[in-house]
Amino acid sequence: MSRHTWTEIRRALARPVIAVAASIGLLLAPAAVAQQEAASSEKTVVGVALYPGFELLDVFGPVEMWAYVPDFEVVMVAETAGPVASAQQGIEAVAQYSFADAPEIDILMVPGGNGTLVELNNEAYLDFIRKVDATSTLTTSVCTGSALLAKAGLLSGRKATSNKAFFSLAVQQDPSVDWQGSARWVEDGKYITSSGVSAGTDMALGLIARLKGKDQAEMLAKSLEYEWNSDPENDPFAIEFATAN
């Protein structure tokens, strides 16, 4: 797909449905388009809180979706700026910011991964997500990232979910959370938690649908040839793990 096509997709996502129609050849007054694009000029900062041993797809599945929203600015943050190694894969992602110099984050995302076990006892990490959550518009997680949110005390009394294979790990952090054993992702107020690994990509599109409209999320999924599970209650893994337990 050409660079021109990707540019058009990004522009379309910034506009209401009527402007999306214009991008495929229907008429729309230039002044109206300019007004819509000006309204989206202020960036929403989406911050991914990395840690050693994060799961690659937990991060880059959602980032693949969010990076195409023109008024989203995705940043990587870690306790120390620089390369951060993923879980078994060992692939490094670069954190542009440390916890000390991170910008104000509007949407926080906490990934899962083997490194979760270490971060559950890392007060620097837990304090950072508490600090960001105090002013964030949305706080999200993928996989065992919800265990970290729970350990930080951010999910008490709320509905949430986690990776079914490590569900007990999340529950142990805060039994007062209303843990949902059958959910692709769960929204409760500003908190959006998703199930294991690939569910994070579905959640990311769900977040786009929440903020930009479902038509916009569906258009993006289609443009990337991604089959979006758009029903958060459609969890194909819930019965399997429930039976196993």
Q: State the catalytic residues.
A: 143
* CA-CA-CA-CA dihedral for 11, 15, 20, 21, to nearest 10: -130
Instruction: Tell me the CB-side half-sphere exposure of residue 85, using CA atoms within 13 A.
Output: 7
**Tokens for 21?**
């129609």
Is the Cβ–Cβ distance between 13 and 68 less than 8 Å? yes
Among the residues of 105-234, which ranges form H helices?
116-119, 123-133, 145-151, 167-173, 199-212, 214-223
51: left (phi over 0), alpha (psi -120 to 50) or beta: beta
* 204: CB partners within 8 A, 6+ apart: 61, 62, 63, 64, 65, 66
The CA–CA distances, whole Å, from 222 to 26, 63, 68, 176, 217 equal: 20, 16, 13, 38, 9
**Tokens for 130?**
């508490």
